[in-house]
Structures are given as C-alpha cells and as structure tokens.
Amino acid sequence: MRAESSEEREREREREREPRGTARRRRWTRQVPAGVVGVAAVSLIALTVSPVNAEPDTRAKPPRGRNPLPAPPQIRDLDFLLGSYTCDYTPPPGGKPAVLKLNTKRAMGGHYLYTDATLEPGSVVGRSSFGWNPVDGKFITQYHDNWGSSGNYTSSGWKDGHLIFKGPLTQVITPNASGQTTGVKLDLKDDYQVLGPGHFKDTTSFTFPDGSTLQGSYDCRRQ
C-alpha cells in the first residue's frame, strides 16, 4: 500500500469539508471532456427554464375586433325590408299569380341586408344582398337563384316616396341540371313604396332586348 503524502491528506480533508455532492461533481467533470460538459450545462439550464412536461398554454386569447367600423347610416333606409313577409304577385297580362316568401336579416355587423326568397309555383329559391356603396354614393343589390339567374342593381336612394333599383338581369328561361340552358338578358327596375308599417309594394318592370316591357307587382305584408 502506497503511503499518502501530506499534500494528498490535505486535499482529502478539504473534500470532507465541502458540501455533499461537490466532490462527486468535481470527479464527474474530470472524467468528461470540456465540450460535453458545456452541452450538459446548457441542457440543464433549458430543463430549468422549460420543464419537459409543461402543459401548452391554452388560455383564451383576447378576441380581435371583428368589425371596428360601424355600419353606414344610409343602410337604415332599407329597414322596411327586415323581417318575414308574404308577397302576393300580380303578373303582367297573360301571366300567372304567384306567392313570394321573404325573410330579411342584417349581416356583417349591419353593413348588409340578406334576403332569402322562395317563389311558388316554380320552386324558385333566391337570395338578394343589399348594401351601400360609399364611393359612388349608391345602394347596391346582388341577386342569384337556384335556376341560375343573376343580377346586379343600384339605387340613388329614396325620392318622392320611391326607392328605385335598376340594373342588368340574366334570366334563365328553362332550368337545366346540365349547367347549359337558354336565357335572356333583361334590364330590371324595382320600384319600392312603403304603404304602412310592415307593408310595402314592389313594382317590377322587365325590359327586353327588343325594347318591349312587361310589368308586375308584389304586395308584401310582414308576418
């Protein structure tokens, strides 16, 4: 057995005075290359800052403003359309009477009105969207239905008790599931008049390419 030198005995006494675990870490450091020790230290720091078993942050985030811009005041001029209506249609001479069901609601924070419509007979289901064009200073309407008809109309607003929309309409004559059929391009005019609370009339005129015009009207009462 080798005799211990006074220097070795002094180192041993120093290790005994150190806190538990210090000597073990020192021996581990001597055994592992310096570069590996650095990586291990970084890993230990990472584990301290971000525990492996930490749960993801599922706290609700503050909602973003969906529509910070209020609806234009002009859109209130269309409030007479809101609600559910039944409209009796008086056709032009030679046509057949019909019943139109309307349901109009606000949409997009009040910037638009959407009207869902069903016309019988014929099983025509359509939708119109009403809005205000702030650049041109006009009301706008877009229309489409399950026959494939579509139209775009504009109005300058109420004048002398009339709200008149005008624009082109592509009217399908005979619907066809193939996506190919015949139709006619018309100029449409919708003339709205409010006759009382929950009661309005829409006189509709269709002008054909040859210049001829047909006119009918809807008498609509809120249900």
Residues 145-203: tens digit of each pLDDT: 999 999 999 999 999 999 999 999 999 999 999 999 999 999 999 999 999 999 999 99
Residue 37's pLDDT band (boundaries 50, 70, 90)?
Answer: very low
pLDDT at residue 71 is higher than 80: yes
Q: Supply the pLDDT for residue 34.
A: 45
How is residue 110 written in tokens? Answer: 């009040």
Percentage with pLDDT > 70 across the chain: 70
Q: Supply the pLDDT for residue 50.
A: 40
- Distance, in Å, from the CA atom of 198 to the CA atom of 78, rounded to the nearest integer, reads 12
Residue 38's pLDDT band (boundaries 50, 70, 90)?
Answer: very low
Three-state DSSP at 146 gives: coil
Q: What is the largest CA-CA distance in the chain?
A: 130
pLDDT digits over 112-131, tens only?
A: 999 999 999 988 999 999 99
Distance in Å from the first CA to the final CA of the chain? 111
pLDDT at residue 223 is higher than 60: yes
**117, 102 Cβ separation under 8 angstroms:** yes
**182, 170 Cβ separation under 8 angstroms:** no
- Distance, in Å, from the CA atom of 107 to the CA atom of 2, rounded to the nearest integer, reads 95
Region 74-89: what's the mean pLDDT?
98
* CATH tag for 73-222 (out of 3.60.21.10, 2.40.128.20, 3.40.50.2000, 3.40.50.720): 2.40.128.20
pLDDT digits over 86-101, tens only?
A: 999 999 988 899 999 9
**170, 185 Cβ separation under 8 angstroms:** yes
Query: How is the chain split into domains, by residue range?
Result: 6-49, 73-222
For residue 17, count CB atoms less than 10 angstroms from its CB and return exposed for 0-12, middle for 13-18, buried for 19 or more. exposed
Q: Supply the pLDDT for residue 94.
A: 86
